[in-house]
Amino acid sequence: MADVHSSATRSKNMRAIRQQDTAIELRVAQLLKDRGFAYRVQDKNLPGRPDFVLLDQQAIIFVHGCFWHHHHCYLFKVPATRTEFWTGKINSNVERDNRYVRQLQESGWKVLIIWECALRNKLRLSDSDLQERLEEWLLAMDQSAEIDHNGIQHYRPR
């Protein structure tokens, strides 16, 4: 199946995808702010340039897009065109993610990954559910975890 866009159009579309201050990151920022948590964003001095760094809780939060980071949910689908290219790109993202989480954990940080499916579309968590999971992890859990449309669970490298 051929791509429905020209190479120039596809390139323009890909350049338009934001790397920070995405809608899902802004939602998490507002939820943290509403609960009174202080954080820094995009700390370039830490592995992976985490989306949120909460120093008081020694915690890192990454907000991952389900497609770009290969989450096993309804939002991920391998593209029908240039499959080999996309599979390689996405697999390298996953390997890099796992390396960054390991480095952060070895440095004493606990890491939370919030998946896009928890933040948008039909199965997203409500703001109150998401705030409760965030607060539960930040204040009561001492290990890394992930939140998706099913709720919170311990982090398992992919």
Q: What are phi and psi of 62, to 5 degrees?
A: -105, 140
Is the dihedral angle over the CA atoms 29, 34, 35, 39 positive or is it negative? Answer: positive
pLDDT band at 100 (very low <50, low <70, confident <90, very high): very high
Domain boundaries, the chain: 20-154
pLDDT at 93 over 60: yes
Please tell me the predicted confidence (pLDDT) of residue 14. Answer: 47
The answer for residues whose C-beta is within 8 angstroms of residue 52's C-beta and 6 or more apart is 28, 29, 32, 39, 40, 41, 60, 61, 63
What integer is the mean pLDDT of 113-126? 93
What integer is the mean pLDDT of 98-118? 96
In the β-sheet with 40-41, what is the strand arrangement from edge to edge?
40-41, 52-54, 59-64, 110-115, 145-148, 151-154
pLDDT band at 141 (very low <50, low <70, confident <90, very high): confident
pLDDT at 10 over 50: no
What integer is the mean pLDDT of 134-138? 93
Which of 15-19, 48-52, 56-60, 142-146 is least confident?
15-19
- DSSP β-ladder status, 52-54 and 145-148: unpaired
CATH 1.10.760.10 fits 20-154, yes or no: no
Distance CA 94, CA 91 (A): 5
Q: What is the CA radius of gyration of the chain?
A: 16
Prediction pTM value = 0.85
- Mean pLDDT of all residues belonging to the chain: 88
Three-state secondary structure call for residue 113: strand
Predicted confidence (pLDDT) per residue in 15-42, tens digit? 445 455 678 899 999 999 999 999 999 9
